[in-house]
Amino acid sequence: MPGRPARTLVAVALVCMLTACSTPETAPGSLADGKERVAELVDEALAALDGGTYRRSVPGEQACRKTFLGYVVGTTGAHRAELPVIVDFPARVDARQFLDLLAAHWLERGYEVRRVETVDARYPKVEARAGGGYRVVMTAFATAPRLTVYAVSPCLRD
């Protein structure tokens, strides 16, 4: 069967190509709704903190991208709403203490909460999945009295 190895090789290559392509799903709802929701998630997290100073900005957006073999090959036309906030504390405060506090708060709200394993232990994280593809992450800095709160939506259309 002289043609069989060639057909097998083509089939394997086709399967590899199809599984190596990634296009994020687009969730229902508008980008404006997404920006409103990420702002709510960040405000909720900031309200649980005590003694920190921050400057809250307006939500931005990031294009959702298609990838192939790990490389970006284009955009989907959808965007993710996002809002990062840096919170600074007085020098004597260990910002890591707020990770457990916020994790408990998120659990009470019914969010799925997990500790994010990081390669660099100086930046411990806790993440909540707030339903509908929305995530909010708090990252503490072990080397400074600072943490970040970052909320992001799923891919949404304008």
Give the three-state DSSP class for 63: strand
pLDDT in tens, 65-113: 888 887 878 788 899 999 999 999 998 888 888 999 999 999 999 999 9
Tokens of 94: 């260990």
Q: Count of domains in the chain?
A: 1
Contact 62, 75 (CB under 8 A): no
| The pairing of beta strand 125-129 with beta strand 112-116 | antiparallel
Quickly count helices (H) and strands (E) in the chain. 3, 10
Tokens of 21: 């392509």
Looking up residue 53, the CATH number of its domain turns out to be 3.30.2030.30
Is it the case that residue 63 has pLDDT exceeding 60? yes
Q: Which domain holds residue 32?
A: 4-157
pLDDT in tens, 21-38: 566 677 788 999 999 999
d(CA 97, CA 82): 25
